[in-house]
Amino acid sequence: MIVGIDLGTTNSLIAVWESGTSRLIPNTLGEVLTPSCVSVDEDGTILVGRAARERLQTHPDRTAAVFKRYMGSDKTMRLGTREFRPEELSALILRSLKEDAEAALGHPVTEAIITVPAYFSDAQRKATRAAGQLAGLRVDRLLNEPTAAALAYGIHQRDSETKFLVFDLGGGTFDVSVLDLFEGVMEVRASAGDNMLGGEDFMRCLIDHFFAHNKLPASLKSDHYFMQRLAAQAETTKRALSDSATASIRLSHDNTDYALDIDEATLERICEGLLRRLRDPVERALRDANLRPAELDNVVLAGGATRMPMVRRLVARMFGRFPACDINPDEVVALGAAVQAGLKMRDAALDEVVMTDVAPYSLGIEVAMELRDSSFSSGHFDPIIERNTPVPVSRVKRYFPITERQKQLSLNVYQGEARMARDNIHLGCLKIALPGLARDDSGIDVRFTYDVNGLLQVTATIVKTQETHTLIIEGNPGMLTEAEIAARFIALSELKIHPRDRIEHRTLLASAERLYQQLRGGQREWFGTQILAFEQALETQDKRHIEPVRKQFETLLNDMERDSFTVPHSDPA
């Protein structure tokens, strides 16, 4: 059985295709959203999910979050005594989800479809696949997030003909896709996006505003404890403003209380720049798909950040219509991934459905252009695969060296839309030795093959000799070789994961610890004793004893959270 996984910046989900429908699988806490956080416990075991997120505030130097933004790079994060690459942190999340699925389904899970932002680069996609491998999952297929959302939405409409746009604003990335559904064929017409724009950025705006409003020194930003607390509050405030007119942040530091009362209109004002950035990919996707907003039948929202009223308002004004909100935007991508898993398993229920995707960015090489007066101008970008070409695709173009009897040629491969190569993203370089003939005889056929997963293969063939060279897009910063993956897999396996049956309790304790940190004076002391009592109950390992204590403790926690400052709930709405 293949599962579908949404490996998100803020939250991750896992789902499965069963009995003709997609079903989300809950974690040990009974929730379908597992925060994408990893923490190393005091005893060295790994905590994933809500427990880790709580520890983001109490033990920020042993906890990591938002590491999806570093996928495809070499950046490591230090948790306790060990450095982790982003693939490894993601792998730990994936492993946890894998175990959740195995527990729910009752059999091993070895294969998964993982979603990636449509705009993820080659390196970022390979890192995602590597993360799957490190978690013991075979990832034969990567799926673009907006396409997944489209599948989840479209599967209910498979008999109709409709054109719609998916507006996917997640925690860290923004993707737009324009889709055309007819006769059960879901065709992506165009994709665009911004890899550095998500809900987290809106939060950062709020945090900056808090700093400005309270005239806090910039140096305070290096105080992890303070920042994590502030971040948690900002998150809750952001969500609160989706439902109520005003909300406030209250935080104390060094015995001073800081506060910020804010209403939705102000929030929109301070996030104006971000809202403007949302427009560009939408415009480009529509332009590339050759559609006007009026020709769309629907706009589908995906990603938790689309819950923000300001985003919904912007969407309504851009398109002149209210977006479709029937499917939970947090869940829609995972549900779609499960549909793709169903398609891959050739489930009979999905017989009449098929999906085609597109290459989201142009791919080409650096060339020199000959001008009318026979001079040359170098450094230009010549695309071989234009963006929004349906995939899989393979294109070949012939090039010639600049001078006669040229002995060597460097093929620099780029991805991007700019005219000059230097403004695009460099993917790799292939050096080819030429036979040293006249220009006209020294043609080279360069072939770009882009598969359904969005992975690129480049081959160059010297026409005269039919010698072929393949570019291995490896050894680039941000990418692991197969050997490195194998080695790290072994290393990761040796890490102890916190036992599943104790995660619920562990999470509760982590929340308690977090709350403890925020309390003061007598209240704090008293709460400390309550925690102790719970820990002692746990040590008895007697379920009948533990259960009622746990329930009581949980209720106490919730009460205290409500009473005191606007301390964030751990649950999303």
Burial class (CB in 10 A: 0-12, 13-18, 19+), 386: middle
SS (H, E, C) 519-533: CCHHHHHHHHHHHHH
Stretch that binds another protein, among 89-97, 156-164, 203-211, 244-252 (CB under 8 A): 156-164
Q: In this structure, are residues 315 and 167 in contact, taking their beta carbons and an 8 Å threshold?
A: yes
- C-beta of 381 vs 534, nearer to another protein: 381
> Quick check: 356 binds another protein (CB under 8 A)?
yes
- Alpha-carbon distance of 31 to 36, in angstroms, equals 13
- Alpha-carbon distance of 410 to 401, in angstroms, equals 10
Q: Work out the number of other CB atoms within 10 angstroms of the CB of residue 220.
A: 14
Stretch that binds another protein, among 122-130, 176-184, 494-502, 516-524 (CB under 8 A): 176-184
> Smallest distance from the beta carbon of 525 to another protein, in angstroms?
55
> Quick check: 318 binds another protein (CB under 8 A)?
yes
| Amino acid occupying residue 354 | V
- C-beta of 182 vs 526, nearer to another protein: 182
Residues 6+ apart with CB under 8 A from 389: 358, 359, 395, 450
Task: Enumerate residues 416-445 that contact another protein by CB under 8 A.
Answer: 417-420, 423
> Smallest distance from the beta carbon of 176 to another protein, in angstroms?
12
> Quick check: 317 binds another protein (CB under 8 A)?
yes
> Smallest distance from the beta carbon of 25 to another protein, in angstroms?
25
- C-beta of 236 vs 394, nearer to another protein: 394
- C-beta of 176 vs 510, nearer to another protein: 176
> Smallest distance from the beta carbon of 195 to another protein, in angstroms?
15
Task: Enumerate residues 504-543 that contact another protein by CB under 8 A.
Answer: none
Stretch that binds another protein, among 7-15, 160-168, 234-242, 397-405 (CB under 8 A): 160-168
- What separation in angstroms does the CA of 118 have from each of 178, 211, 358? 12, 34, 9
> Smallest distance from the beta carbon of 482 to another protein, in angstroms?
21
Q: Work out the number of other CB atoms within 10 angstroms of the CB of residue 166.
A: 34
Task: Enumerate residues 359-388 that contact another protein by CB under 8 A.
Answer: 362, 369, 371-373, 375, 377-381, 383, 386-387
- C-beta of 28 vs 461, nearer to another protein: 461
Q: In this structure, are residues 15 and 97 in contact, taking their beta carbons and an 8 Å threshold?
A: no
Per-residue buried b or exposed e for 465-490, using 16+ beta carbons within 10 Å of the residue's own CB:
eeeebebebeebebbbeeeebeebbe
Residues 6+ apart with CB under 8 A from 163: 178, 179, 180, 181, 291, 295, 296, 297
> Smallest distance from the beta carbon of 317 to another protein, in angstroms?
5
> Quick check: 320 binds another protein (CB under 8 A)?
yes
- C-beta of 164 vs 202, nearer to another protein: 164
Task: Enumerate residues 383-422 that contact another protein by CB under 8 A.
Answer: 383, 386-387, 390, 392-394, 417-420
Mask 260-299, x = binds another protein (CB under 8 A)?
A: -------------------xx-xxx-xxx---xxx--xx-
Residues 6+ apart with CB under 8 A from 539: none
Q: How far is CA 301 from the centre of its chain?
A: 16
Structure tokens at 517: 């940190």
- C-beta of 26 vs 392, nearer to another protein: 392
- C-beta of 215 vs 317, nearer to another protein: 317
- Alpha-carbon distance of 215 to 256, in angstroms, equals 13
Strand runs labelled E in 451-541: 456-462, 467-471
Closest CA relative to residue 267, chosen from 207, 181, 333: 207
Stretch that binds another protein, among 52-60, 87-95, 314-322, 480-488 (CB under 8 A): 314-322
Mask 178-197, x = binds another protein (CB under 8 A)?
A: ----xxxx------------
The count of residues interacting with another protein (CB under 8 A) is: 61
Structure tokens at 425: 């993203």
- C-beta of 287 vs 431, nearer to another protein: 287
Q: In this structure, are residues 259 and 248 in contact, taking their beta carbons and an 8 Å threshold?
A: yes
Stretch that binds another protein, among 5-13, 121-129, 398-406, 447-455 (CB under 8 A): 447-455
- Peptide linkage before 392 cis (omega within 30 of 0): yes
**Residue ranges that bind another protein, judged by CB under 8 A:** 140-141, 157, 159-162, 182-185, 279-280, 282-284, 286-288, 292-294, 297-298, 314, 317-322, 351-352, 354, 356, 362, 369, 371-373, 375, 377-381, 383, 386-387, 390, 392-394, 417-420, 423, 449, 451-452
